[in-house]
Amino acid sequence: MKFFPQFQLAWLQLTHSKLRLVVALAGIAFAVILIFMQLGFLNSLFESQTALHKRFNADLVIINSNLITLSQAPLRFPQQYLYRVLNFEEVEAVNTFNYNRNLLKYGTDIVDPILVIGINPENPSLYIEDFDRVAHWLKTPGFALFDANSDRKLYGELLRDLQGGQVQVAELNNQRIRIAGTVDFVGASFGEQGYIIMGSSTFKNLTSSASKDDIAIGLITLKSGVDQQKAIDKIRKQLPGNVSLMTLADFIEFEKDFWRATAPLGFVFGLGVLVSCFVGTIIVYQILYSEVSEHLSDYALLKARGYRHYYLLSMLFQECLLLAVMGYIPGLIVSLGLYRFTEFATSIPMDMTTSREILVLALTIIMCFISGVISMKKLNEAAPADLFS
């Protein structure tokens, strides 16, 4: 109270009308929920669309120069380009990664395109938890593994049957495929609803690719201690112009940039955050404007008794801070519940992070303070002379 002498007055003014306070807090909480959900969707978009990239066992990546995202149809290039890289002393090993989208049919499950991945079971190009336990299935022609985190609405029947431990027969690209079990993989995303993983030989036999000697992605592992940038500059000079070479970290950012700047979803979620802040600002402004208008004569009396305009401004901004914090708390609680519900309903991960909580709290405070700044114009109308008019 010593440091905020206007705090008590700000609190009494806010609580003078309980209904108005409840409406104000509900409006702020609503804006907070909107911001949390839009940021959650935006982060989930980036994380889910790069979850596969983050599992690559590589330092460098080679892709077709025309590729803009893994969510598009694969654009391949001759694998001989990749094997040329082995001639460089900085290179430890190379590997290939192939993918395609094919229709999967199982029982009464919806026929839907699913991402099919082909890897070398002897030297997997990506990280799969507890892979040694299931690697033998990928060495057997005609067998595959299913992502346990795939969308249950589309593949629920298959996932339930696989829980029994029995091999299930499905139809992929109008050909029979035996699914031996599940693995804990990347899960559903905005671009993909599920994944099937199979050995390279099975992949080439079951999927329709342009050429069996072409690959979708080339993966390069450098020797320990090698300068990545120098290695890239050296290798790039020996590669043709129709392929691009980049670090794995740059490949992840490459995918994010597509969804951030090119894909409609990234724009929609980003715009949603701005709209949510605007809605919250308007709601708080209306509440503060009503408070100031209702107590304008009281403010004039305070000025007549010697209180400076700074005192009233300080009280107004303390009201803004109180509204921000009191509206933020219920908004956060409801958002946590909505995150869990969205994750359950869509199979897309929605994680609440401490940094996001702090960011939204800061945005809420800024939002309320902007409303306070706008309301200052009305507060300036409080003049002692008005008491005698």
Q: What is the pLDDT of residues 212-255, one digit of tens each?
A: 678 899 999 999 988 999 999 999 988 998 999 999 999 999 99
State the pLDDT at residue 268: 81
The model's confidence at residue 2, banded by pLDDT at 50, 70 and 90, is very low
Residue in 157, 68, 150 with CA at minimum distance from that of residue 105: 157
The model's confidence at residue 36, banded by pLDDT at 50, 70 and 90, is very high
State the pLDDT at residue 3: 46
Q: Looking at per-residue confidence, does 367 or 33 come out higher? A: 33
- The whole-angstrom separation of Cα 293 and Cα 378 is 7
Lowest mean pLDDT among 179-188, 316-325, 334-343: 316-325
State the pLDDT at residue 117: 92
Ramachandran assignment for 191, one of left (phi > 0), alpha (psi -120 to 50 degrees), beta (any other): alpha
- The whole-angstrom separation of Cα 103 and Cα 307 is 75
| pTM score of the predicted model | 0.76
Largest CA distance in the chain: 96
Q: Looking at per-residue confidence, does 43 or 108 come out higher? A: 43
Lowest mean pLDDT among 103-107, 133-137, 226-230, 358-362: 103-107
Res. 109: pLDDT tops 50: yes
State the pLDDT at residue 105: 87
Neighbours of 55 (CB within 10 A): 15
Res. 208: pLDDT tops 70: no
Mean per-residue pLDDT for 7-12? 73
